[in-house]
């Protein structure tokens, strides 16, 4: 995504002040036995082809950093389980940096991920999250990156709950 000269920690302020509203339908099978799931992260597919962005690469980087920080998963290029991800929707709101009053459209993004058993080809878990930062409100910096990152974080959190055998909101 486009870079901003302002520090990334301002995006944390955005979360606290503007919010990000997710939606997390989850389809689940039985989690793999034995604790930590070794995942092979495949490059995310960008179905949006949003001009000026490489959302597939950004989502892949976000998934990598979030998965590395999540105890339920271990990234392993030879892992039996594959994580396949897609950015299927992206609507850019106002410019990456704006103040009150331009209230325009919200910035939205949709990320989906599946964990696939590399041996059988079966999908073990599939989750989709929609993220949105409403228009208006206080200053927002890097809101486009922020929406994608928080949506990936929510997706990994749901997958981690699945991997630990916990119930995930929205799951059958």
Measured CA to CA, the distance from residue 71 to residue 46 in angstroms comes to 27
Residue 30 has pLDDT above 90, yes or no: no
DSSP 154-166: HHHHHHHHHHTT-
Q: How confident is the model at residue 31 (pLDDT cuts 50, 70, 90)?
A: confident
Q: Per residue in 66-108, pLDDT tens?
A: 999 999 999 999 999 999 999 887 766 655 444 444 555 666 7
Fold of 10-163: Rossmann fold (3.40.50)
Q: How confident is the model at residue 50 (pLDDT cuts 50, 70, 90)?
A: confident
What is the pLDDT at residue 135? 63
Structure tokens at 81: 């389980």
Compute the average pLDDT of residues 119-148.
73
Q: Where are the domains of the chain?
A: 10-163
Q: How many CA atoms lie within 13 A of 60 on its CB side?
A: 12
3-class secondary structure, 139: coil
Residue 28, C-beta contacts closer than 8 angstroms, at least 6 positions apart: 124, 125, 162, 168, 171, 172
Angstrom distances, CA of residue 105 to CA of 23, 39, 52, 89: 19, 37, 18, 15
């Amino acid at each position: 995504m486009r870079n901003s000269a302002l520090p990334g920690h301002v995006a944390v302020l955005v979360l606290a002040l503007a919010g990000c509203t997710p939606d997390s339908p989850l389809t689940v099978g039985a989690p793999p036995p034995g604790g930590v799931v070794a995942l092979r992260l495949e490059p995310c597919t960008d179905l949006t082809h949003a001009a000026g962005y490489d959302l597939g690469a950004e989502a892949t980087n976000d998934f990598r950093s979030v998965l590395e920080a999540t105890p339920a998963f271990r990234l392993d290029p030879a892992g039996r389980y594959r994580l396949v991800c897609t950015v299927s929707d992206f609507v850019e709101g106002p410019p990456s940096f704006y103040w009150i009053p331009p209230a325009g459209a919200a910035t939205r993004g949709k990320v989906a991920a599946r964990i696939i058993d590399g041996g059988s080809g079966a999908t073990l878990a599939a989750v989709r999250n929609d993220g949105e930062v409403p228009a208006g409100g206080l200053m927002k910096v890097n809101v486009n990156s922020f929406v994608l990152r928080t949506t990936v974080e929510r997706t990994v959190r749901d997958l981690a709950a699945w991997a630990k055998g916990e119930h995930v909101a929205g799951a059958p």
